[in-house]
Structure 1
Amino acid sequence: MLTWVIYDIISNKTRNNIIKKCKNVGLYRVQKSVFLGDLEDNKFDELKLELDSMINKDKDSVYIFPMSKA
């Protein structure tokens, strides 16, 4: 499924880890804080769980949007 990842992260270390993770699963950087790519369902679920565990929920935001290719 086509997947958008959009984030606003305060910590440079956390932001760099988010960037590495997005690139490692095959997403492409569209803008400074936006990634896009095609992920299988299991990779989507894995990415969502990992990114959610990496952020400070009081200060950071990560949005992951699945889209159909229709």
Structure 2
Amino acid sequence: MFVWVAYDISDNNLRTRIADHCKDLGLVRFQKSIFLGESDRATLQMLASLIRREMEEDASGEEDSVAIGTLCGSCQKSLITLGKPVDGSKYRRRPFVIIG
């Protein structure tokens, strides 16, 4: 499924940790506070848990927020973007091989 994460976080350290979690789980930065990518339900739940824990441990941001959502195939096709176009292939999972 196609996933998006958007956040408004005032603390630089917390914001960096959340961005790192998004990258670690294969999401790609679309804007400074928006990540897109493909994920499965289990990985999405893990990301939500990681972000929830980070936010609970950082008591400085009661006004901070994170939104995580999914887009179905038809929703992706009907997405309207202005300015920078959304190249869906950039956000698709890339196959990988573990060597070791």
Using the size of structure 2 for normalisation, the TM-score is 0.65
Amino acid at match of 2:68: I
**Greater CA radius of gyration, 1 or 2?**
2
Name the structure where strand makes up a greater proportion of residues.
1
Instruction: Tell me the distance in 2 between the aligned counterparts of 1:9 and 1:36.
Output: 18
CA positional deviation for 1:69: 2.0
Match of 1:58 in 2: 62
> How many pairs does the alignment contain?
70
Query: Aligned to 2:19, what secondary structure does the other structure show?
Result: helix
Aligned-residue offset at 1:67: 1.6
1:69 aligned residue (73, 84, 88): 73
In structure 2, what is the Cα distance between the partners aligned to 1:20 and 1:27? 10
| C-alpha RMSD of the superposition | 1.3
Give the deviation of 1:59 after TM superposition. Answer: 2.1
Instruction: Letter of the 1:13 partner, please give it.
Output: N
Output the CA distance in 1 between the equivalents of 2:52 and 2:10: 15
> Aligned residues: percent identity?
36
> Quick check: 1:3–1:37 contact (8 Å CA) kept in 2?
yes
Unaligned runs of 5+ in 1: none
Quote the residue 1:9 is aligned against: 9
Q: Which has the higher contact order (CA 8 A, sep 6+)?
A: 1
Match for residue 35 of structure 2? Answer: 35
One-letter identity of the residue aligned with 2:50:
E
- Please list every run of 5 or more consecutive structure 2 residues that lacks an aligned counterpart in the other structure: 75-100
Shift of 1:53: 1.8
